[in-house]
Amino acid sequence: MFGVGVLSEFESKQLLARHGVAVSRDKLAHSADEAVAAAVEIGGPVAVKLCGSSLAHKSERGLVRLGLDNSASVRTAADELLAAAVEDDGEVALLVSEMVAGCREFIAGVVHTEQFGPALMLGLGGVLAEAVGEAVFRLLPVSEADCKDMIEDLDIPALMAPLRGEPAVDQGALVDSLLGLAHAGGGEGVEAVDVNPLVIRDGLPVAVDALVVTTGS
Amino acid sequence: MSRPPLDLLFDPQGIVVAGASTHPGKFGFVALHNVLAGGFDGPVFATNPDQPSILGVEALESVADIPEGAADLVFVCTPPHTCSEILRSAASRGVGAVFIASGGFREAGSEGARAERELVQLARSLGMVVAGPNGQGLISNPAKLAAQIVAPIPPPGPIAVASQSGNLVSAFMNYAAQSGVGISRAVSAGNAAMLGVVDYLGWFASDPHTKAMAAYVEGVEDGPAFAAAIKRVAAAKPVVLVKGGTTPRGAQAAASHTGALATDDRIFDGMVRQSGAVRAQTIEEAYDAVAAFATQPLPAGPRTLVLSSAGGWGVIAADALSKSKLELIPLPADLKEAIDGLVPPRWSRSNPIDLAGGESRDTIPEVIDLVADHPEVDAVIYLGMGIQANTASHLRSGPYFEAAELARICEYHERQDSRFAQAAADASARTGKPILAATELGITQPDNAGPATLAAQGSYCFPSADRAVRALHHMWWYARWRKRLLG
pLDDT for position B190: 96
Interface membership of B247 toward A (CB under 8 Å): no
Identify whether residues B348 and B433 lie together within a single domain: yes
Identify whether residues B316 and B287 lie together within a single domain: no
Report the alpha-carbon distance of residue B17 to residue B35 in Å, rounded.
Answer: 9
* Residue B172: CATH number of its domain: 3.40.50.261
Cβ B257 vs Cβ A107: under 8 Å = yes
User: Which of A116, A144, A198, A215 best tests the B interface by mutation, with the highest count of B CBs <10 A?
Assistant: A116
Residues in chain B with CB shorter than 8 Å from the CB of A107 are: 257-258, 261
Report the alpha-carbon distance of residue A213 to residue A205 in Å, rounded.
Answer: 22
Min Cα distance B310 → chain A (Å) is 31
Q: Which stretch of A171-185, B344-358, B418-432 has the lowest confidence by average pLDDT?
A: B344-358
Domains identified in chain A and CATH numbers: 25-98 (3.30.1490.20), 104-214 (3.30.470.20)
- Does A192 contact B261 at a Cβ distance shorter than 8 Å? no
Tens digit of each residue's pLDDT (9 = 90 or more) over B236-291: 999 999 999 876 665 444 557 888 888 889 999 999 999 999 999 999 999 999 99
pLDDT for position B248: 64
Interface membership of A214 toward B (CB under 8 Å): no
The partner residue sitting opposite A137, judged by closest CB among B220, B255, B267, is B267
| Residue of chain B minimizing CA distance to A136 | B266
Q: What is the CA radius of gyration of chain B?
A: 26
- Does A111 contact B220 at a Cβ distance shorter than 8 Å? no
- Does A115 contact B264 at a Cβ distance shorter than 8 Å? yes
pLDDT reading at B2 higher than 80: no
Other C-beta atoms lying within 10 Å of the C-beta of residue A158? 7
The partner residue sitting opposite A119, judged by closest CB among B257, B260, B262, is B262
**How buried is A24 (Cβ within 10 angstroms: 0-12 exposed, 13-18 middle, 19+ buried)?**
buried
| Residue of chain B minimizing CA distance to A213 | B256
Query: Reduced to 3 states, what is the DSSP secondary structure of residue B129?
Result: strand
- Does A56 contact B251 at a Cβ distance shorter than 8 Å? no
Q: In chain B, what percentage of residues exceed pLDDT 90?
A: 91
Interface membership of B484 toward A (CB under 8 Å): yes
- Does B484 contact A137 at a Cβ distance shorter than 8 Å? no
Phi, psi dihedrals of residue B206, rounded to the nearest 5°: -110, 15
Other C-beta atoms lying within 10 Å of the C-beta of residue B463? 20
pLDDT for position A217: 53
pLDDT for position A3: 52
Report the alpha-carbon distance of residue B459 to residue B452 in Å, rounded.
Answer: 10
Identify whether residues B310 and B246 lie together within a single domain: no
Min Cα distance B319 → chain A (Å) is 17
Phi, psi dihedrals of residue B363, rounded to the nearest 5°: -60, -50
* Residue B124: CATH number of its domain: 3.40.50.720
- Does B258 contact A112 at a Cβ distance shorter than 8 Å? no
**Which is higher by pLDDT, B482 or A89?**
B482
**How many domains, chain B?**
3
- Does A113 contact B223 at a Cβ distance shorter than 8 Å? yes
Tens digit of each residue's pLDDT (9 = 90 or more) over B9-28: 999 999 999 999 999 999 99
Tens digit of each residue's pLDDT (9 = 90 or more) over B170-188: 999 999 999 999 999 999 9
Average pLDDT, chain B: 95
Min Cα distance A71 → chain B (Å) is 33
Report the alpha-carbon distance of residue A142 to residue A151 in Å, rounded.
Answer: 13
Interface membership of B487 toward A (CB under 8 Å): no
In order of A31, A119, A167, the CA distances from B262 in angstroms are 38, 9, 30
Residues in chain A with CB shorter than 8 Å from the CB of B268 are: 116
- Over residues B53-74, the mean pLDDT reads 97
- Does B258 contact A109 at a Cβ distance shorter than 8 Å? yes
pLDDT for position B1: 47
| Residue of chain B minimizing CA distance to A148 | B274
Residues in chain B with CB shorter than 8 Å from the CB of A149 are: 273
pLDDT for position A156: 85
For chain A of 217 residues, list the mean pLDDT of each consecutive stretch of 10.
74 96 96 96 94 78 91 95 88 94 95 92 89 92 94 89 95 97 92 94 96 82
Nearest to B119 by CA among B165, B74, B167: B74
Identify whether residues B124 and B144 lie together within a single domain: yes
Identify whether residues B91 and B169 lie together within a single domain: no
Give the sheet arrangement for strand A93-98, strand by strand: A26-29, A93-98, A46-51, A64-68
ipTM of the complex: 0.90
Interface membership of B230 toward A (CB under 8 Å): no
Identify whether residues B281 and B364 lie together within a single domain: no
pLDDT for position A55: 76
- Over residues B287-313, the mean pLDDT reads 96
Identify whether residues B460 and B357 lie together within a single domain: yes
The partner residue sitting opposite A111, judged by closest CB among B262, B271, B273, is B262
Interface membership of B127 toward A (CB under 8 Å): no
Report the alpha-carbon distance of residue B74 to residue B126 in Å, rounded.
Answer: 14
Residues in chain B with CB shorter than 8 Å from the CB of A181 are: none
Residues spanned by the domain of B222? 152-295
What type of residue sits at position A61? Answer: R
Identify whether residues B140 and B122 lie together within a single domain: yes
pLDDT for position B253: 47
Identify whether residues B2 and B75 lie together within a single domain: yes
Measured CA angle at B370 (ends B364, B374), to 5 deg? 150
Report the alpha-carbon distance of residue A136 to residue A155 in Å, rounded.
Answer: 10
- Terminal Cα distance for chain B, rounded: 39
What type of residue sits at position B123? Answer: A
User: Which of B222, B226, B258 best tests the A interface by mutation, with the highest count of A CBs <10 A?
Assistant: B258
| Residue of chain B minimizing CA distance to A58 | B255
Identify whether residues B311 and B338 lie together within a single domain: yes
Identify whether residues B270 and B236 lie together within a single domain: yes
In order of B66, B67, B71, B75, B125, the CA distances from B92 in angstroms are 10, 10, 11, 16, 13
pLDDT for position B311: 83
Phi, psi dihedrals of residue A102, rounded to the nearest 5°: 180, 140
The partner residue sitting opposite A211, judged by closest CB among B223, B255, B270, is B255
Contacts of B449 (CB under 8 A, 6+ apart): B386, B389, B392, B413, B414, B415, B416, B417, B418, B421
Identify whether residues B194 and B255 lie together within a single domain: yes
| Residue of chain A minimizing CA distance to B227 | A116
Interface membership of B227 toward A (CB under 8 Å): yes
Residues in chain A with CB shorter than 8 Å from the CB of B251 are: 111-114
pLDDT reading at B404 higher than 60: yes
pLDDT reading at B307 higher than 80: yes
Residue ending a domain, choose from B295, B327, B342? B295
Which DSSP string do the residues of A30-93 spell out, in sequence order?
SSHHHHHHHHHHH-SSEEEEEE-TT-S-TTTTT-EEEEE-SHHHHHHHHHHHHHH--GGG-S-E
Residue ending a domain, choose from B243, B275, B295? B295
What type of residue sits at position B333? Answer: A
Measured CA angle at B332 (ends B327, B333), to 5 deg? 155
Residue ending a domain, choose from B128, B149, B170? B149
| Residue of chain A minimizing CA distance to B258 | A109
A-B C-beta contacts closer than 8 Å: 93
